[in-house]
Structure 1
Amino acid sequence: MSDISDEEDEVHATGREGIIFLIDATESMFSEDDSGNCAFKQSLKACDNAMMHKVKFSDNDLMGFILFGTDVTRNDGERSHISVLKGLQRPCSDTVRELRKMHESSIGDFGSKFGHNEDYLFADVLWLAQSMFSKHARNLVSSRIILLSSSKRFGKDDNHSQRQAKACANDLHGHLISMDFVPCIPEYKPTDFISAIMQIVRGNDEPWTVPRSHAINSLEDLPGVVESVVESTGEHARYFAHLNFCIGGKVSVGVEIYNLMRAYGGPKKEKLCRVTNKKVSSKVVHQVSAVEAKVDVEGEDEDSFYEVADAPSATVVEREQIGVDKADLDKSLHIGGETVRFTQEEFEMFYKIVDPGLVLLGFVPVDLLKITHHSGPASLVYPSRSSSSGSRDLFTALWHRMGEKNVAAVCTCTLRKRSLTRFAALVPSGLKKDNKVYDEYKKYGIHAVPEPQGFHIFYFPFTDYINTLGLPGRPSASSEQMSLAVAVLKKLRFVFHPSRIPDPAVETQWAAIEAIALDLDSSSVRVVHDEIRPDYEAIDQRLGDLAMNFARSVYHDDYDPMAKVKKKSSGVKVSSQPFGELDRDVVEAAIKSRKVETLNMEKLKGYLKTKGIPVSGKRKQDLVDAVYALRYQ
């Protein structure tokens, strides 16, 4: 083999996220409002939206659905009045069809199929969710439960049942399973029981109340609220790299790096069979052929065999292919005209010169960092959740002291064993909030350091990446123009986040894929609205006369924005000297030496005009051919 490597870049697997929806199926969820909506159907629609969100952004994540408060029992543990609609699995079209079919069916159909019964144990519901997570514990980096209910009473409310539920909630907290409760009715006031359950799962001493981001004003808001809860990962955000942060000597801290923003694109391309339209998986298999040579030699039997290299004339017979392990293959490089062989262990050593991790080099003031040093989007460095308390205290102390000194840490960053080593700066995050909390601690005599907010890591560009451009001088604006521009900006200011404005091209592609996967007709295809286009009517309403006043202050009175822009002349004047005798001698000499292509178009056109040949609209090659044609006439 004569290649450096036939492997793709190593992908650091950060695990999957598992989400289980606990949907209340008691009669209180089926009471309809004035518009005919009920909490249960809106919950199914919310689950549908959450599943479609996972298909677009994280199709490797797992989702499950459990109905509690049903009359029938459908689960592996035979827990009464609980039905597992779907176990933990990747989002697929079958699950989406089942949810939509249940959403479109009538309340009577659901009652005849599942029924309603409030004689269940909430501890059994939590136990089933935990058992489903335990089957995928190795593949999940975070586990979450989203509870959708409008009830004040969760199953049996006797003291023994409540103690069992609290014990199960404590088990969830021990297994690092988080839980979110989204009320399905407006102005929901939680009972002491559900508040205690949420408090135990979260591990907080403060009483739990419904967060403002989880509350709804009407049933139509429920799908959007649930989708935002699914998008937010909270404390159990997924990292894309787990590294050791070497502070000095043998002292290191385990850290995790999180992406603050990532690109959003369409689905990945898959290889399909042309005949069956099924997915085709490819696999590289290394094989060698066993070769033997058969020769006929005088005095020897016809069945005698010799080595191929020793036989004067041999008939090569190939045997069957023999598979070879990848570890048994040698690599080779062409260096200095020779082929140098390396074993697999020697070849792997090329990529182990620098171990992955962060290495602290020193500190610089934050004021020395410039915006031109940021060659990519910033990431967040935070202590590893599996690190000990001593490592977290060391990380916190470093973060706090760097914030007090207003310095940034310069370090080398190697994300993976085959990735490029980069220089980066670690800038403390959340310093203003930290200072306020620290002042409150001092006020009450509390000797403690607030929880760290982590570091923003900015990658430095290499010298070749920085270009110095000689920019021309810019005209300065007058005070009147600046005041009008500030007024315009204040009128057009609004809260913006890239995730709120989807890409219409990508959304159109997803809508087509959704229609094909779910066998939808043309009338049921989701309509995509282009939200990137500005709302000119709303802009005109906000600005009023400000836009015209700003335009008058910047442009002259005769300026017409709708007029066509005149092309500016290049400034190069074309000489219009007459074609003289010297020019004719130059052209004829070029014809004799067959160097007409070196002449400019002015001399070619002048020579052809003296011969009475039209030259307008012709290219240079046409002029050259015409000159050569005159010679052979």
Structure 2
Amino acid sequence: MDLKEWDDEKDRENEDGESYEPVGGRDGLIFLIDATKPMFSKDELAECPFGITLQCCKTTMLNKIVSSDRDLVGVILFGTNETRNALKVPHVVVLQDLQELNAEKIKQLLNMLKQQDFDDFTNKYGHSDDFAISDALWLCQSTFSSSQYKLSSKRILLFTNTDHPHAESQHKQHQARSKAADLGQVDVDVELLHMGSNFDPSLFYKELIQTVKGEYSDEWRLPTPSTRFEELQARLYRKDHKKRSIGRILFSLGDGVKFGVSVYNLVRTTYVPRKAWLDRTTNEVVKTSTKKFDAKTGEIMLPTELNKYQEFGFKKITFRCDEVKNLRNLSEPGLKLLGFKPDSKIKVHHHLKPSSFIYPEDGLIQGSRKLFAALLECCVARKVVPICSFTPRTNAVPSLVALLPQEEKLDDSNIQILPPGFHVIYLPYAEDIRTLNIESTSKADGEQISKATAVVKKLRFPYMPYRFDNPKLQVHWRNIEALALDYDEQPEVTDVTVPDHNYMASKLGSLAQEFLDSVYIGDYVPGGKPRTSGDRKRMTDMDNNKPKKVAKIADFGDMNDIASRGKVETLTVAELKAYLQSVGIKVTGLKKAELVTKVYEHLGMDQPS
């Protein structure tokens, strides 16, 4: 049988797209919503916190269908007069069970949002202050435990505008703190999305959230309360995207000094989902399988019977699959420090692919956070970057990387914009670098540079990637959304990548024309239609003083000499026509072969066969 050619392009593509083994399990998310009367009080814009919360839940569900449709989502209400749940927990209603998302779940929220005053909700479920936060948290924990799927993360997003729900009951406060501690022990995370300008987290919820996350965690910091849908949605967007690590490795500083880090992908290309083939009778997804056959015998080949080869010196060097795998096993997974370089040595053109991000992981080695923080603080202070060898997993090719330090940054609402840690910048090897021999070109003068600088300054804006949606993806998903949710009209998608020329013109004023005048000379029009041969002919005909051009036959001698050497066929059609017209012979509609014959006939010579 023919040997399978050595081709690890597919392996390299997988390595670039997914550097780690996929994380097992699904994400479990429960929206725990306060349904007491204060959540239904309207503000000056006629919006109530409960309606804003439902809008956020609906938007998050739509986003999850796009990004992670296998995750489980549920909606639980507390503070209702009715009790509707399998465990009979008082004053708690399970609006939606913890299940995979579907169109019916979103339609239910859309129907609720159509109500102006939520009168139907009040009549159906009612309101009550005789509830216990501990009961609602216990029901959420039981819901996670009874799920038939393996959950890699379990999170509760708690929406409320009441800062001290159990102000008159010390017993309920103690029960809530005890249940919060239980949730922390079973890895159930709780995030508070609080609303209202007068909300004071320190009265109750600050201690509750800190108890869940642990005494030494720095993730319990609470931002200022939200008052608008956009604020709450932006905050929910950050909370919904779970900081799911794609790998945990050891960082070796040398001499046995190691600490644990988790690796994250901050940027990853999003594609339109692949189409699935369906059985036209059952409408079920068709599964495909690939089998390899011996070209001579037609027998099915087992994976152990397949080899790969690499050509070397016109000879095929064969390898078994296990030998190929061992060839890639060059080092153990982890980061190994090689040294330090000034941060100014890291150039933009060193970029190979999107960087990763590392954060300390005490789960591997206790005390990793302190050592990581010390290294980060030292690198920031001295403006240096660690240069390391990075092997993300077993049998992966080591990469040369630079660790670019990043300090924590908060906005005015005390929300974390940038986390503390290191960006893993992939550096090129010597074999990856190409040298270009580019000829020198004319350089711009001082006036042209100053005009261009003025244009650039006028058109500057703060670039933030999350403000630019992929128009192709948005059109695709909006069409799917319209079909699934039975919209009467197709949602309009705004392509934010199209420049706003009117706004740009208003910003530039006369600067754009001044820049063009300084760069383009004469009647040249940038972007204009180039002149055709017909345009040039018309311009020539308009100038009667200029003699008509004769064919460019000077390099060949005169036409008699060209014809005697049998080289008339080497002339172009334009040259042949020009010569024949100069001697008074009509050439309209003649092809090249006919033009050549006319030349020989005019000169009285025999045409070579």
Question: Normalized against structure 2, the TM-score is what?
Answer: 0.75
Matching residue of 1:307: none
Q: How does 1:563-602 map to 2 (within 5 A)?
A: 564=528, 566=530, 575-577=552-554, 580-587=559-566, 599=570, 601=572
Q: Note if contact 1:69-1:155 (Cα within 8 Å) is conserved in structure 2.
A: no
User: Counterpart in 1 of 2:541?
Assistant: none
Does residue 87 (structure 1) correspond to residue 97 (structure 2)? The answer is yes
Report if the CA contact (8 A) 2:551-2:574 is conserved: no
Q: Which residue does the alignment assign to 2:155? A: 144
Alignment of 1:483-498 (within 5 A): 488-498=455-465
Superposed counterparts of 1:539-618, under 5 Å: 539-543=504-508, 545=509, 547=511, 550-551=514-515, 554=518, 564=528, 566=530, 575-577=552-554, 580-587=559-566, 599=570, 601=572, 605=576, 614=587
Question: C-alpha displacement at 1:564, in angstroms?
Answer: 3.2
Change (3 A) 1:378 1:606: same
Q: Is 1:263 the counterpart of 2:272 in the alignment? A: no
The number of residues matched between the two structures is: 559
**2:481 equivalent to 1:514:** yes
Q: Which residue of 2 aligns with 1:30?
A: 40
Q: Are 2:308 and 2:321, in contact at CA under 8 Å, matched by a contact in 1? A: no
CA contact 1:381–1:457 (8 Å) conserved in 2: yes
Task: Give 2:175's aligned amino acid.
Answer: Q
Moved more, 556-565 or 461-470: 556-565
Deviation per residue, 1:226-247 (Å, 9 max, x gap) = 3322332599622333333333
Aligned to 1:164: 175
Q: Is the 8 A contact 1:187 1:215 kept in 2?
A: no
Rounded Cα–Cα distance in structure 2 between residues aligned with 1:348 and 1:625: 70
1:65-107: CA deviations, max 9, x gaps? 1111223323333211212223333332222122212222462
* Structure-2 residue corresponding to 1:197: 208
Which SS does the other structure have where 2:566 is aligned?
helix
Q: Match for residue 223 of structure 2?
A: 211
1:17 deviates by 3.9
Further displaced range: 6-15 or 175-184: 6-15
Task: Using the TM superposition, give the Cα deviation of residue 497 of structure 1 relative to its aligned residue in structure 2, in angstroms.
Answer: 0.4
> 2:234 is matched by which residue type in structure 1?
S
Give 2:83's aligned residue: 73
Query: How far apart are 1:113 and its partner, in Å?
Result: 3.3
Q: Does 1:48 align with 2:58?
A: yes
**Residue 587 of structure 1: SS of its match in structure 2?**
coil
Equivalent position to 2:130, from 97, 115, 119: 119
**Equivalent position of 1:183 in the other structure:** 194
The more displaced of 193-202 and 124-133 is 193-202
Identity across the alignment (%): 29
Q: What corresponds to 2:143 in structure 1?
A: 132
Mean Cα displacement is larger for which, 375-384 or 385-394? Answer: 385-394
The aligned amino acid for 1:475 is K
Name the CA shift for 1:375/1:566 in 2 (closer, same or farther; >3 Å).
same
Structure 1 residue 13 and structure 2 residue 13: aligned?
Answer: no
Give TM-score scaled by structure 1 length. 0.73
Look up the SS of the partner of 1:258 in the other structure. strand
1:475 to 416, 431, 443: 443
Gaps of 5+ in 2: 411-418, 534-549, 600-605
CA contact (8 A) 2:309 2:318 kept: no
Give, in whole Å, the separation in 2 of the partners of 1:123 and 1:258.
33
Per-residue deviation, residues 498-541 of structure 1 (Å, max 9, x unmatched): 111212232111110111222323x2x22112223344454455
Tell me which amino acid in the other structure corresponds to 2:183.
L
Which residue of 1 is the match for residue 385 of structure 2? 408
Q: Secondary structure at the match of 1:47?
A: helix
Question: Over aligned residue pairs, what C-alpha RMSD do you find?
Answer: 4.7
Contact 2:337 / 2:389 at 8 angstroms: preserved in 1?
Answer: yes
Contact kept? 2:72, 2:99, Cα under 8 Å:
yes
1:330 to 305, 314, 331: 305
| Whole-angstrom distance in 2 between the partners of 1:554 and 1:470 | 25
Residues 587 and 595, structure 2, Cα contact 8 Å, conserved in 1: no
Task: Tell me what 1:387 maps to.
Answer: 364
Alignment-mate amino acid for residue 562 of structure 2: D
How far apart are residue 160 of structure 1 and its match? 1.2
- What per-residue deviation string (whole Å, max 9, x for no partner) do you get for residues 516-573 of structure 1? 222323x2x2211222334445445555x5636854873579778688355599xxx9
Q: How many Å apart are 1:13 and its aligned residue? A: 1.3
**Matched letter for residue 479 of structure 2:** A
For 2:252, what is the secondary structure of its paired residue? strand
Code of the residue aligned with 2:491 in structure 1: it is: R
- Mind listing any 5+ residue stretches in structure 1 that lack a counterpart? 292-317, 434-451, 591-595
Contact 2:551/2:578, CA 8 A, preserved across alignment:
no
Q: Residues 329 and 396 of structure 2 are in contact (CA less than 8 Å); yes or no, is this contact kept in structure 1?
A: no
Any conservation in 1 of the 2:28–2:153 contact (CA below 8 Å)?
A: yes
Q: Tell me, yes or no, if structure 1 residue 454 matches structure 2 residue 396.
A: no
Q: Give 1:163 deviation, angstroms.
A: 0.5
What amino acid is the match of 1:333? K
CA distance in 2, matches of 1:204, 1:283: 51
Q: Distance in 1 between matches of 2:397 and 2:579?
A: 62
Q: Distance in 1 between matches of 2:265 and 2:517?
A: 44
Shift of 1:485: 5.4
CA distance in 2, matches of 1:605, 1:198: 90
Indicate the residue corresponding to 1:466 in structure 2. Answer: 434
2:346 aligned partner: 369
Which whole-Å CA distance do the structure 2 matches of 1:256 and 1:529 have between them? 37
* Alpha carbons 1:121, 1:156 under 8 Å: kept: no
CA distances 1:572-618 after superposition (whole Å, capped 9, x unpaired): x9834476234224437x9xxxxx7xx46369947996997948796
Aligned residues of 1:366 and 1:408 also touching (Cα < 8 A): yes
**Mapped contact 2:75–2:95 kept (Cα < 8 A):** yes
User: 2:415 corresponds to which residue?
Assistant: none
Residues 59 and 614 (structure 1), Cα distance of their counterparts in 2 relative to 1, 3 Å cut: farther
Q: Separation in 1 of the partners of 2:594 and 2:264?
A: 63
Contact 2:552–2:575 (Cα < 8 Å) also in 1: no
Matches of 2:503 and 2:578, distance apart in 1: 65
